[in-house]
Amino acid sequence: MFSKSIPLSLNRRGGNGARVPGRLKGATVRVGIVGAGALGTVFAEALAPVVPVEILRRGDDPRRFADVDWVLIAVKTYDTLAALRPLRAVLRPDAAVVSLQNGLLQVAQIESALGAGRIIVLAPTTEGAMRDPAGVARRRGTGSTVVGIPAGRLGTDRVDALADLLGAAGLAAAVAAPIEPHLWAKLVVNAAINPVTALARRSNAHVLDDPDARNRAAALAREAAAVAAAAGIALPYSDPVARVLDVARATSANRSSMLQDLERGGPTEIEAINGEIVRLGRLFGVATPENQRALDEVRRAAGA
């Protein structure tokens, strides 16, 4: 546990000087984070001065999450089911499950692991983190998190409270309805930057510095945006290629999560990113040859 249980009040401040919001006044809020990787550690360290935080690592006793109010999922998409299934009989019915993950499969995976009827909040984030050579998680720059309820579900009050909680921890957060355009916004960028940098074994600056990499990333982004449009999604930016280049510029020193996965010889999120674009492209009749090529090449590089 990162901190003891402390009732929140309007006058209490976290270690970063953020004021705990009035909406949470008088409440005792406990947060559980599934995943002790770089991203999970960044959120845990930010939240710990404000509320009690538990991190669930592989092999931990899931009963530690019996009293949490919020469950933040910070594992890779391919680990979701295995990480969440032990919590199915543990979590309180009113505990809200928050996905910080990439891709579009979060709701289906959460319900497969925990059962239907859960309060689910989607929270695409641009917070970046990497482990340094000593294995210490380091926050890379300052990102932001958009929170919202999946289409057709209830829980707006929980979304507002979550945004307040993240803000109290010094994490930039905003509420969005609908949330789906923001999931797609991140997906388009990930689909363009992650496989290109992973295959080249280079940082995000590679997308800016190498003309071939830039062209390939642009083609990937255009295909992904075309699939989003076919799915009826209005992206929150008008030019997907410009957005990709902006993100690459802002994160030029970063090594994408897909690159880090390949470097450690583990599985990647290629199926949840480019693979999902290819699948939905087929569904909606949109050609995605560049995403298919990226999917095939990363699969081979990962030994899949």
**Residues assigned a catalytic role:** 186
Burial class (CB within 10 angstroms; exposed 0-12, middle 13-18, buried 19+) of 5: exposed
Task: Report yes or no: 147 and 159 within 8 Å, Cβ to Cβ.
Answer: yes
Walk across the sheet containing 70-73 and list its strands.
Answer: 53-56, 31-34, 70-73, 96-99, 119-122
Burial class (CB within 10 angstroms; exposed 0-12, middle 13-18, buried 19+) of 139: middle
Per-residue exposure over 192-230, b if at least 16 CB sit within 10 Å of its own CB, e if not: bbbbbbbbeebbbbbbbeeeebbebbbbbbbbbbbbbee
- CA-based nearest residue to 223, from 287, 273, 143: 287
- CA-based nearest residue to 97, from 87, 257, 209: 87
Cα–Cα distance for residue pair 98/87, rounded to 1 Å: 14
